[in-house]
Structure 1
Amino acid sequence: MRPAPVPDLPDIGRRENLRDRIREALRAAIISGRLEPGVVYSAPALGAQLGVSPTPVREAMLDLVKAGLVVTHANKGFRITEMSEEDLDDLAAVRLLIEPPTVRNVVPVIPKEDLPELRTLAQAIVHAVECGDLVGYIEADHVFHLTLLGYSGNRFLMDVVSDLRSRTRLLGLTPLLESGRLGRSAAEHHELLDLVEARDPAGTELLMHRHIGHVRGLWAGGAGDTP
């Protein structure tokens, strides 16, 4: 259990759904490794970085406790939970069972008129990489994939995938950003939409399988491209 200085986090500002915004910013920071596993962070320190008071930070952190991403430490703050290599393998394996075949199935039902909006979502991922915004990258990536899977109309599947994605740790994002490989990975989202636009379910499924392999094999610090 290691105390540590809080990394730079984006100023959240004053918004109507402040607790939700804080929760998602903290979730993205945990997933990307900006908030380190095993480290205890205090609500006042996090609030100072986010530009808000400690109270909504505590409330947001309690939501993340329920999600299993952090645990509370009385009078100290919140410790980011650690995940083993086996945990990450298991998460990736379940995602591979669900996401590629689901994307294959939704390709024929995605309306052509929805493609420009999906392109905008994909470009937001690329833009975040170009700006070096890892937290923004995680948020944009989450929105894109959940929007795509949403065409399945299966809310239970959406809940499961959202939870799996939230628990995955992408601890290799910073070196990938510095090497330029994250930018190439971000561009895969446009490649995925090219296949959707071409109405190629099989190709879309294969690309999604490879994409999830990157999450486990590269971004999470593994040795290969697939679990």
Structure 2
Amino acid sequence: MDEPVSLAESVKDMIRADILDGRLDFGARLRIRELATRYGASPMPVREALRSLVGEGLVAAVANKGARVVTVDAEHIRHLFTIRIAVEVALARQAALAIDAAGLAEVATLERERLAAVQGGDFAAGVAINQRFHRRIYEAAGNAEGLVLLDRHWLLLAAIWSRYGYRPERLGGVASDHDHILRALAERDADACGVMTAAHVTKTRQDMLAQIEGYEARVR
């Protein structure tokens, strides 16, 4: 019984990596037999892998049509960020009242690591550390359900950033936003932390929409 489960996990990891790296494009049809051949597996673990990836938000299952990589467009991004702004602001406010000195030190260290990665040109590492920066803050809120929701979205956001990139001018803005959030956390100012988080996530949404629109204009 263990072998099919481990094989399904392996196939899931390979499909996820291909989505995140752009080898499987947004909206691409995912045919069971083609994927089985591609990854050297039988159809059963491929089906299990796709079901799991639906739960992660990277794959959409369409009745009577099979599965596809999720389609990313401006409407999808706006809906996703409407949810994220509400959840992230709530968790940031809670975290400002609950985070301890060790947590603050860890978050500050992560921001230094993120800056070093970005300044060194390793944007993929910068994106990954950025996720850890925010997640460590939200962990302090003690809201497990909120974290599950944000983690689910993060995989898709990572795929979008990998595909479309950041605007260079946004990178400096991220550092400034993070500094303000860190200051609000240190001062245990829930209102300021909520306001700065809302502004930060809103600017991220605007940047992502601009990157997608710019890409689509270039390929028309």
> What's 1:97 paired with?
86
- Call closer, same or farther: CA 1:116–1:54 in 2, change over 3 Å: farther
Q: CA deviation digits over 1:140-192, x for unaligned, max 9?
A: 1211111111112121111012112333334786351xx34313313422331
3-state SS of 2:113 partner: helix
Choose from 72, 75, 87 the match for 1:86: 75
2: CA distance, partners of 1:124 / 1:222 = 25
2:56 corresponds to 1:67: yes
1: CA distance, partners of 2:19 / 2:132 = 12
> What's 1:49 paired with?
none
Choose from 108, 121, 132 the match for 1:119: 108
1: CA distance, partners of 2:138 / 2:81 = 17
- Call closer, same or farther: CA 1:217–1:133 in 2, change over 3 Å: same
> What's 2:5 paired with?
none
3-state SS of 1:37 partner: coil
Q: What letter is aligned with 1:107?
A: A
> What's 1:154 paired with?
143
Choose from 8, 17, 23 the match for 1:26: 17
Contact 1:129 1:137 in 2 (8 A): yes
> What's 1:15 paired with?
none
Contact 1:28 1:135 in 2 (8 A): no
Q: CA deviation digits over 1:49-104, x for unaligned, max 9?
A: xxxx978xx89x755354231479xxxxx964322221111111111111112211
Deviates more, 1:185-194 or 1:156-165: 185-194
1: CA distance, partners of 2:126 / 2:70 = 21
TM-score, with normalisation over the residues of structure 2? 0.66
TM-score, with normalisation over the residues of structure 1? 0.65
2: CA distance, partners of 1:39 / 1:129 = 31
3-state SS of 2:72 partner: coil
- Call closer, same or farther: CA 1:125–1:187 in 2, change over 3 Å: farther
- Gaps of at least 5 residues in structure 1 are 1-17, 47-52, 73-77
Contact 2:164 2:211 in 1 (8 A): no
Choose from 186, 204, 210 the match for 1:215: 204
Contact 1:69 1:167 in 2 (8 A): yes
Contact 2:59 2:69 in 1 (8 A): yes
2: CA distance, partners of 1:26 / 1:193 = 32
Contact 1:27 1:64 in 2 (8 A): no
2:159 corresponds to 1:163: no
- Call closer, same or farther: CA 1:181–1:97 in 2, change over 3 Å: closer
3-state SS of 1:82 partner: coil
Identity %: 21
**How many Å apart are 1:207 and its aligned residue?**
0.8
2:190 corresponds to 1:206: no
Aligned length: 190
3-state SS of 1:152 partner: coil
2: CA distance, partners of 1:116 / 1:142 = 16
Contact 1:103 1:201 in 2 (8 A): yes
Q: Which has the larger radius of gyration?
A: 2
- Call closer, same or farther: CA 1:26–1:141 in 2, change over 3 Å: farther
